């Protein structure tokens, strides 16, 4: 059986105005918050890791290539990134949109 880990990070990040989205903030050890958040998960059980984010966050703060490289360096795993056009209102809506594409 094949499993996909979906990481929904396509929210508006409205609680931290004027900052990068939370998932793109750097922790004291240099890892992105996204990478730190999954540190305790056994990624070996997943055949795919999918990060569902906002296109505007990628365009404004990062590049897909840099994010993929950082994720691989931090976790030892490749990740796919799906950039949504519009912010979602919740993690469940982010998952719904990812599964609908």
* Tens-place pLDDT, residues 6-45: 999 988 777 777 889 999 999 999 999 999 999 999 999 9
Mean pLDDT of 51-69: 94
- pLDDT at residue 88 in the model: 86
- Residue 81: pLDDT band with limits 50, 70, 90: very high
**Under 8 Å between Cβ of 16 and 91:** no
Category of 57 on φ-ψ map: left (φ > 0), alpha (ψ -120 to 50) or beta: alpha
Residues contacting residue 69 through CB under 8 Å, at least 6 positions apart: none
- pLDDT at residue 61 in the model: 92
- pLDDT at residue 13 in the model: 72
Give the integer Cα–Cα distance in Å for 20 and 39: 21
Q: What is the pTM of this model?
A: 0.91
- pLDDT at residue 33 in the model: 94
């Amino acid at each position: 059986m094949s499993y996909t880990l979906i990481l929904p990070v396509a929210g508006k990040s409205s609680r931290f105005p004027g900052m990068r989205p939370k998932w793109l903030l750097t922790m004291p050890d240099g890892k992105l918050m996204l990478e730190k958040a999954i540190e305790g998960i056994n990624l070996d059980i997943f055949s795919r890791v999918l990060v569902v984010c906002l296109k505007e966050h990628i365009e404004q703060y990062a590049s897909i290539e840099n994010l993929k490289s950082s994720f691989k360096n931090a976790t030892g795993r490749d990740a796919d990134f799906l950039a949504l056009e519009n912010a979602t209102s919740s993690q469940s809506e982010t998952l719904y949109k990812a599964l609908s594409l």
